[in-house]
Amino acid sequence: MLSSSMEVYENYEIKMLPPWESDGSKVSVKVPGPTLTYQNIQYCIRENRGLCRKRGPERDILKNVSGIMKTGLNAIMGATGSGKTSLLDVIAGRKDPRGLRSGQILVDNKVVTSDLRLMSAYVVQDDILMGTLSVRENLLFSGNLRLPRKQYSTADKEKKVESIIQELGLEDCANTKIGTEFIRGVSGGERKRCSIGMELITSPSLLFLDEPTTGLDSNTANSIISLLHRLSRGGRTIIFSIHQPRYSIFKLFDHLTLLHKGETVYAGPTGKAMDYFQSLGYECEAFNNPADFFLDITNGETTPSRPTEKSLAELYRESQYCASVKEELKCITGPSDPSFEAKSKAPSYVTSFFYQLNVVCWRTMLNVVRNPQTSYAQMALNIICALLIGLIYYQMPLTLPEALQNRIGAFFFLIINMVFGNLSAVELFINERAIFVHENSGGYYRTSVYFLSKVFVDLLPNRIVPIFIFSSISYYMMGLNPTFTSFLCFALTMSLVSLAGVSLAFLISASVSSFAMANILIALPFVFMMVFGGFLVNLNSMLNWLSWLKWASIFKYGLDAVTINEMKGQVFYGGNITLTGEMYLKSQGIDYSVWGFWQNQVALLGIILVCMTFAYIQLRRINRWK
Ligand X SMILES: Nc1ncnc2c1ncn2[C@@H]1O[C@H](COP(=O)(O)OP(=O)(O)OP(=O)(O)O)[C@@H](O)[C@H]1O
Could you give the CA distance from residue 232 to residue 16 in angstroms, rounded to a whole number?
11
Dist CA 28 CA 25 (whole Å): 9
Site for ligand X, residues 85 to 144, rule: CB under 6 A: 85-86
Interface with ligand X includes 185 (CB under 6 A)? no
Specify the residue, 85 or 441, whose C-beta has the smaller distance to ligand X: 85
Nearer to ligand X, 61 or 478 (CB): 61
**d(C-alpha 479, C-alpha 614), whole Å:** 39
* Nearer residue to ligand X within complex by CB, 61 or 145: 61
CA dist., res. 535 & res. 357, Å (int): 42
Q: What is the DSSP letter of 68?
A: E
> What SS3 class is residue 30?
coil
Q: Indicate the residue among 260 and 454 with the shorter CB distance to ligand X.
A: 260
Omega before 401 cis (within 30°)? yes
Q: Are 235 and 73 in contact (CB under 8 A)?
A: no
Site for ligand X (CB under 6 A): which residue of 27, 41, 61, 386?
61
Among 56, 81, 97, 589, binds ligand X (CB under 6 A): 81
Binding mask 19-58 for ligand X (x = CB under 6 A): --------------------------x-x-----------
Residue (76 or 329) nearer to ligand X, CB = 76
For ligand X, the closer of residues 86 and 270 by Cβ is 86
Q: What are phi and psi of 67, to 5 degrees?
A: -175, 170
Alpha helices (H) along 169-235: 188-200, 218-232
Q: Does 264 bind ligand X (CB under 6 A)?
A: no
Alpha helices for 208-337 (secondary structure H): 218-232, 247-250, 270-279, 290-299, 312-317, 320-330
Residue 542 gets the label, from left (phi > 0), alpha (psi -120 to 50) or beta, of beta
320 counts as binding ligand X under rule CB under 6 A: no
Q: Please pick, from the candidates 48, 80, 175, 405, the single residue that binds ligand X as defined by CB under 6 A.
A: 80
Q: Is-contact 162 230, C-beta < 8 A?
A: no
Query: Segment near ligand X (CB under 6 A), from 30-38, 73-81, 317-325, 577-585?
Result: 73-81
Give the range of 78-86, 317-325, 489-497, 586-594 binding ligand X by CB under 6 A.
78-86
Q: Shortest gap between Cβ of 76 and ligand X (angstroms)?
A: 8
Rounded distance between C-alpha atoms, residue 239 and residue 209, angstroms: 6
CA distance 527 to 423: 13
Site for ligand X in 243-262 (CB under 6 A): 243
CB of 438 to ligand X, least distance (A): 17
* Residue number with CB closer to ligand X (110 or 243): 243
CB of 74 to ligand X, least distance (A): 15
Within residues 210-249, the interface with ligand X by CB under 6 A covers 241, 243
**Which residues have a Cβ under 8 Å from the Cβ of 10 and sit 6 or more positions away?**
163, 234
When asked if residue 78 is in the footprint of ligand X (CB under 6 A), the reply is yes
**Binds ligand X (CB under 6 A): choice among 83, 93, 269, 421:** 83
Binding residues vs ligand X (CB under 6 A): 45, 47, 61, 78, 80-86, 241, 243
